[in-house]
Chain A
Amino acid sequence: MFQQPRTWQYGYELSKQTDLKSGTLYPLLIRLSDQGLLESRWQEPERPGKPPRHAYKLTPDGLAFARAIAPPNRPSLVHPKVVGVTT
């Protein structure tokens, strides 16, 4: 959600992306929603005959929170001096 802040995502997708089981994922989503860090809405399914799906994305506060706790970008494994030598 942090990497695609404008995209609404479903619980099952999030479970796949994060490798979290539903038993861990939903309590976290509920907690984020209670704190105003996550918004949700019902979306009509792509395929007929299926029920609507609950979709989620981070709120602006949620995005700010995610930025605050995200680990800093890993430094490049290629040292700048080495790059300088080869270019």
Chain B
Amino acid sequence: MNARISLLRRFASALMGHAVAMLPSVRSAWGDAMEHELHHIEGDLEALTWAAGCVVASYIERSKVMDLIHTWYARVFLTLLIASQVLSMLFATALTVAYRLHYLGVAAFLGGFTPGDDYRRFIPLMDATPWWIHGLWVSASVLFLASGWKLLQNNRVAFPLFAAAWVLGVVGNLISQSMPIYREVFSFPAPMFTRDYLIPAATALLPVLVAAGVWAHGRVLLVK
């Protein structure tokens, strides 16, 4: 037990060292203040929480000096990433609409971006997917767009809008992926690292990174 506690304390000290190192030099006295305070906290877990918070504080102070997140190009970059989420979210709906309305040229073009490069393998899935799931994705897209718009306006509402859009999108995806036909359509004879692991991981990670960026932007606005 003692070993575990001392491990927590050591980890807290390491985190605090990182926080102090991250603070701009003009804030070094505040780094000392945070570090000295750590020695007066009795509980090891509480010390760890304190140190983790100090890392956040140091990042905020560092970002103020760098002020990268507040530049217009950072906002535009984040907005473009949000736009990529809109495209990702609307993709299945666009493909389904193209297929059902017999715009087969468009469907074939979109199919080129899918695993297998052929939209026809998704026909059973498109036939089985109810419209309300598309409704979820379209709603998520609208919220993503609103989030990007608010971000460009430097408005902190961007983050809750992004979070709501992300939740709607994830719910839609989870419901879709729980359908048996989904597993049939997305089963491939041979495993492929890029298709099976790299692209899904990047697809899942990107919104998390964008959310972190949008959140950090709003947080800097809050404390500035």
- Residues of A that sit less than 8 Å from B by CB: 10-12, 15, 21-31, 40, 45, 50-54
Contact = CB atoms under 8 A, between A and B. Distances in A.
A24 B49 CA distance: 12
A28 B53 CA distance: 13
Contacts, number: 69
A12 B37 contact: yes
24 contacts: A12-B37, A22-B34, A22-B49, A22-B50, A23-B56, A23-B57, A23-B60, A24-B223, A26-B33, A26-B34, A26-B53, A26-B57, A27-B57, A28-B223, A31-B223, A51-B36, A52-B36, A53-B33, A53-B36, A54-B29, A54-B30, A54-B32, A54-B33, A54-B36
Residue from the set A10, A31, A54 with the largest chain B CB neighbour count within 10 Å: A54
Interface residues of B, number: 25
Contacts of B52: 23
B61 interface: yes
B120 interface: no
Nearest to B36: A51
Interface string B51-67: 11111110011000000
A10 B61 contact: no
